[in-house]
């Protein structure tokens, strides 16, 4: 074990941590926005649209994220090229970062939409009925009664999915993004210090995940307190 | 003139017809008990009246308001709902609101009453059901009987033309049934118009002035408690009453 290497590499790995965080946080936020739309679309049982959304969700949930990343990486430029007919050839090179974020957002959207639906179903329907019965509009009933109770139910699942996203960013060096794992590979390759580099990475992932898990737990407790007491 | 008139109400769920053309006419001050076997459509009928379920066809008249179920607009729905209140089998209190807020919610957001006035009114209703000291409690901190009495206070605070009750006592422990029945009885004596789905025959006898027997999506019989409960002519009703009395 080369402890010197470990100590010297650590700050270098830390320096690319923002990339890891950028991809996972942006992916989660964009995914969340998409997921809300998907969850509403599925719950409203709109003909044609709802079954399509349901199919897409099972697809994204059933395919390893690395395969999704590759498919977005190779597929998205072609798709765009197809739509932008006037492109003359290799004019369309999308930045890896954009592709990474898109892949993560789509994957997160699929998982988050399921969590939103399950959080929604955990608020019993009769409370919505009661809100309607006392004269609230459907929008007010959701906003004032259902939504505030749905959120604390949703956070634990969100937390799991978000931590998975952070860990899965270790895959995006495959499309040329130098985040923590990518950096570890590069640093290790000069002197075959793989174990040392990966141990550094392990510590970073562990601490980051621990911090986010705690933060989300605190958020959940705070919201619960506001909603139910 | 009848207060509420429902004509030829039909409703089906995925090709299964649950209400097969129900008619009902009630006057101001009536207390109507609806009895009948499980699955006969009692809850669906109640929910159709204030459009928590959307019927397929039929018409409804409440005072001067008239609507056709097959082409009802969101504005019409809101208008009807704001004249009718409902009490649920499982209480259905808003779990993110205190006892007091459960009552003010509908006043403030459903009736445009000011917050101060709504709070005053809610306190009055809480006092009427003897739960003023519980105003800041959340539903999870209250017993089933207390929750249901707040459910009733939430309904009466709205000064509705009609209150719909769906088996208001059937989720309660036996020793708590009495207090809730007393509350409903008190409302009846104050002239509140009510439709109550119930399995408690004694309650129907004591509180109702009209009884409806529901079966298989139809009104099988409609009459006074004496006619329906004491001298039933129909075999099905006799069977039902004797089956029910064995349970109690
Ligand atoms: N949302 C729904 N979707 C599909 N079927 C439904 C729905 N609600 C009720 N039904 C069906 O409609 C029929 C009537 O149900 P309803 O709840 O009105 O009966 P009920 O007389 O209130 O019974 P109970 O005494 O058990 O409460 C039942 O067969 C039930 O399965
Ligand atoms: Mg029922």
pLDDT in tens, A70-111: 888 888 888 877 777 655 554 556 788 888 999 999 999 999
Q: What is the mean pLDDT of chain A?
A: 91
Are the beta carbons of B195 and B164 closer than 8 angstroms?
A: yes
Are the beta carbons of A130 and A138 closer than 8 angstroms?
A: no
In chain A, what are the domain boundaries?
Answer: 20-178
Are the beta carbons of B142 and B134 closer than 8 angstroms?
A: yes
Please list every residue in chain A whose beta carbon sits closer than 8 Å to the beta carbon of residue B165.
none
B16 sits in which H/E element:
strand B16-26
* pLDDT at residue A88, as a whole number: 52
Cα separation, A68 vs A54, whole angstroms: 17
CA B88 distance to own-chain centroid:
7
Rounded distance from Cα B25 to ligand 1 centre (Å): 22
* pLDDT at residue A87, as a whole number: 53
* Candidate of B39, B52, B165 to mutate for ligand 1, largest count of ligand atoms within 8 Å of Cβ: B39
Any residues with CB less than 8 A from the CB of B11 and at least 6 apart, and which? Answer: B17, B18, B19, B41, B44, B48, B53, B55, B56
A35: exposed, middle or buried (Cβ count in 10 Å: 0-12, 13-18, 19+): buried
B41 C-beta closer than 6 A to ligand 1: yes
* pLDDT at residue A80, as a whole number: 79
The closest alpha carbon to A5, from A207, A199, A161, belongs to A199
Instruction: Enter the ipTM.
Output: 0.93
Q: Classify domain A20-178 by CATH number.
A: 1.10.3720.10
Output the six-digit token pair for B128.
């009427």
Q: Among A128, A133, A227, which would you mutate to test the B interface (most chain B Cβ atoms within 10 Å of its Cβ)?
A: A133
Residue numbers of chain B with a pLDDT score lower than 50:
none
Identify the three-state secondary structure at position A80. Answer: helix
Cα separation, B132 vs B9, whole angstroms: 40
Please list every residue in chain A whose beta carbon sits closer than 8 Å to the beta carbon of residue B81.
132-133, 135
pLDDT digits (tens, 9 = 90+) for B209-238: 999 999 999 999 999 999 999 888 888 899
* Crossing angle between the packed helical segments A194-228 and A147-168, to the nearest 10 degrees: 180
Any residues with CB less than 8 A from the CB of A70 and at least 6 apart, and which? Answer: A174, A175
The closest alpha carbon to B204, from B185, B180, B231, belongs to B185
* pLDDT at residue A96, as a whole number: 87
Any residues with CB less than 8 A from the CB of A95 and at least 6 apart, and which? Answer: none
From first to last of the 229 residues of chain A, give the pLDDT tens digit: 889 999 999 999 999 999 999 999 999 999 999 999 999 999 998 999 999 999 999 999 999 989 988 888 888 888 877 777 655 554 556 788 888 999 999 999 999 999 999 999 999 999 999 999 999 999 999 999 999 999 999 999 999 999 999 999 999 999 989 999 999 999 999 999 999 999 999 999 999 999 999 999 999 999 998 888 6
Cα separation, B209 vs B203, whole angstroms: 11
B48 C-beta closer than 6 A to ligand 1: no
Q: Model-level pTM? A: 0.87
Output the six-digit token pair for B191.
């002239």
Cα separation, B207 vs B189, whole angstroms: 9
Output the six-digit token pair for A209.
């995940």
């Amino acid at each position: 074990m080369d402890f010197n290497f470990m100590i010297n590499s650590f700050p270098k790995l830390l320096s690319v941590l923002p990339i890891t965080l950028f991809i996972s946080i942006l992916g989660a936020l964009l995914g969340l926005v998409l997921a809300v739309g998907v969850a509403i679309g599925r719950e409203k049982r709109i003909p044609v649209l709802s079954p399509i959304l349901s199919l897409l969700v099972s697809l994204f949930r059933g395919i390893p994220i690395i395969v999704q990343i590759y498919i977005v990486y190779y597929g998205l430029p072609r798709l765009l090229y197809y739509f932008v007919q006037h492109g003359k050839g290799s004019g369309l090179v999308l930045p890896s970062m954009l592709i990474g974020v898109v892949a993560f957002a789509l994957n997160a959207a699929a998982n988050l939409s399921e969590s939103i639906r399950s959080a929604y179903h955990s608020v019993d329907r009769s409370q919505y009925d009661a809100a309607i019965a006392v004269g609230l509009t459907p929008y007010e009933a959701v906003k004032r009664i259902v939504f505030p109770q749905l959120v604390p139910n949703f956070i634990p699942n969100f937390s799991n999915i978000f931590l998975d996203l952070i860990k899965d960013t270790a895959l995006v060096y495959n499309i040329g993004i130098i985040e923590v794992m990518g950096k570890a590979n590069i640093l290790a390759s000069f002197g075959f210090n793989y174990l040392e580099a990966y141990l550094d990475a392990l510590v970073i992932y562990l601490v980051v995940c621990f911090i986010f898990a705690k933060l989300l737990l605190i958020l959940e407790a705070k919201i619960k307190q506001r909603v139910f007491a | 003139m009848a207060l509420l008139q429902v004509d030829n109400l039909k409703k089906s769920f995925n090709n299964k017809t649950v209400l097969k053309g129900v008619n009902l006419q009630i006057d101001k001050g009536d207390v109507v008990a609806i009895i009948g076997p499980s699955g006969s459509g009692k809850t669906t009928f109640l929910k159709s009246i204030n459009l928590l379920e959307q019927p397929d066809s039929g018409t409804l008249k409440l005072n001067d308001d008239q609507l056709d179920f097959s082409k009802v607009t969101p504005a019409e729905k809101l208008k009807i709902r704001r004249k009718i209140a409902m009490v649920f089998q499982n209480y259905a209190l808003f779990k993110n609101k205190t006892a007091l807020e459960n009552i003010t919610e509908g006043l403030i957001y459903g009736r445009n009453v000011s917050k101060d006035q709504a709070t005053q009114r809610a306190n009055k209703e809480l006092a009427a059901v003897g739960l003023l000291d519980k105003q800041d409690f959340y539903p999870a901190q209250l017993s089933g009987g207390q929750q249901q009495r707040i459910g009733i206070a939430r309904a009466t605070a709205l000064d509705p033309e009609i209150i719909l009750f769906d088996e208001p006592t059937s989720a309660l422990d036996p020793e708590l049934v009495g207090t809730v029945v007393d509350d409903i009885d008190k409302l009846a004596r104050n002239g509140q118009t009510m439709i109550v789905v119930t399995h408690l025959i004694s309650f129907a006898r004591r509180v109702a002035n009209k009884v409806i027997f529901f079966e298989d999506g139809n009104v099988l019989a409609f009459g006074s408690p004496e006619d329906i409960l004491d001298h039933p002519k129909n075999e099905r009703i006799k069977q039902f009453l004797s089956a029910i009395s064995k349970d109690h």
